């Protein structure tokens, strides 16, 4: 197998898993099965804020076990996280990180930055090397502006202007790639672009919006609600309190 990898010409795509599966099949072993999360989660950065969206279906294979499963988890007042994968893992991991971030806020007296739960999540997931089935989209707004990250179950992270994960990510990504624009106003794309992405999930979806100034919004089906929230604490960090 090592000879195949060394002799193969490099190109724009990596087909290492295809060669690996071919060798495994020739040896008489069963091919590894792809893991299906059964979830669609996504996030988009717009002007001065973040939009996070997810469906609300918890599935067991082809069976919808729960139609009203919350997949947008609160980490802090200004930080939320979408989870795909094993429902128990995503809920417990985000709950654990949320408690640690709250303790950090109480100890420092400052509004937590998005980088804080990001580091905690990536370190925790990396320790388990994918055995904790939590694929996450972390978004929030802090004193440095809006931030959006994807966190793979193995602990790798990416910072992107738009992110989608889960088994429905391909459909979402095609729409986001064709319609995304930088510095978009939330009023101009909220129902059109992002609503259209989640329209592929019939009847059940939820959206959370975080803006730099005083607002958080939820969209459930066609109902839009806006709630006020406290102003962010923009005091500069000192020492290790920024972590």
Which residues are known catalytic residues?
Answer: 39
Contacts of 216 (CB under 8 A, 6+ apart): 208, 209, 210, 226, 227, 229
Q: Give a three-class secondary structure readout of the chain.
A: CHHHHHHCCCCCCCCHHHHHHHHHHHCCCCCCCCCCCCCCEEEEEECCEEEEEEECCEEECCEEEECCCCCEEEEECCEEEEEEECHHHHHHHHHHHHHHHHHHHHHHCCCCCCHHHHHHHHHHHHHHCCCCCEEEEEEEEECCEEEEEEECCCCCEEECCEEEECCCHHHHHHHHHHHCCCCCCHHHHHHHHHHHHHCCCCCCEEEEEEECCCEEEEEECCEEEEEECCCCCCCCCCHHHHC
Give the residue from 80, 210, 61 showing the smallest Cα distance to 137: 80
């Amino acid at each position: 197998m090592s000879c195949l990898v060394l002799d193969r010409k490099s190109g724009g795509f990596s087909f290492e898993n295809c060669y690996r599966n071919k060798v495994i099949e020739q040896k008489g072993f069963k091919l590894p099965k792809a893991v299906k999360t059964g979830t669609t989660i996504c996030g988009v950065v717009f002007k001065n804020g973040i939009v996070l969206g997810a469906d609300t279906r918890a599935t067991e294979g082809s069976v919808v076990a729960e139609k009203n499963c919350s997949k947008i988890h609160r980490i802090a007042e200004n930080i939320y996280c979408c989870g795909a994968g094993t429902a128990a893992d995503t809920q417990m991991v985000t709950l654990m990180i949320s408690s640690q971030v709250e303790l950090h806020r109480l100890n420092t007296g400052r509004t937590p930055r998005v980088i804080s739960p990001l580091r905690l999540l990536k370190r925790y997931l990396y320790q388990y090397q994918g055995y904790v089935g939590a694929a996450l989209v972390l978004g929030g707004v802090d004193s440095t502006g809006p931030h959006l990250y994807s966190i793979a179950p193995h602990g790798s992270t990416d910072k992107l202007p738009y992110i989608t994960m889960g088994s429905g990510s391909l459909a979402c990504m095609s729409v986001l790639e064709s319609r995304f624009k930088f510095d978009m106003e939330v009023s101009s794309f909220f129902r059109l672009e992002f609503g259209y992405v989640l329209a592929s999930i019939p009847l059940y979806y939820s959206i959370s919006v975080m803006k730099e100034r005083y607002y958080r919004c939820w969209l459930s089906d066609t109902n839009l609600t806006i709630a006020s929230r406290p102003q962010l604490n923009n005091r500069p960090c000192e020492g290790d309190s920024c972590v």
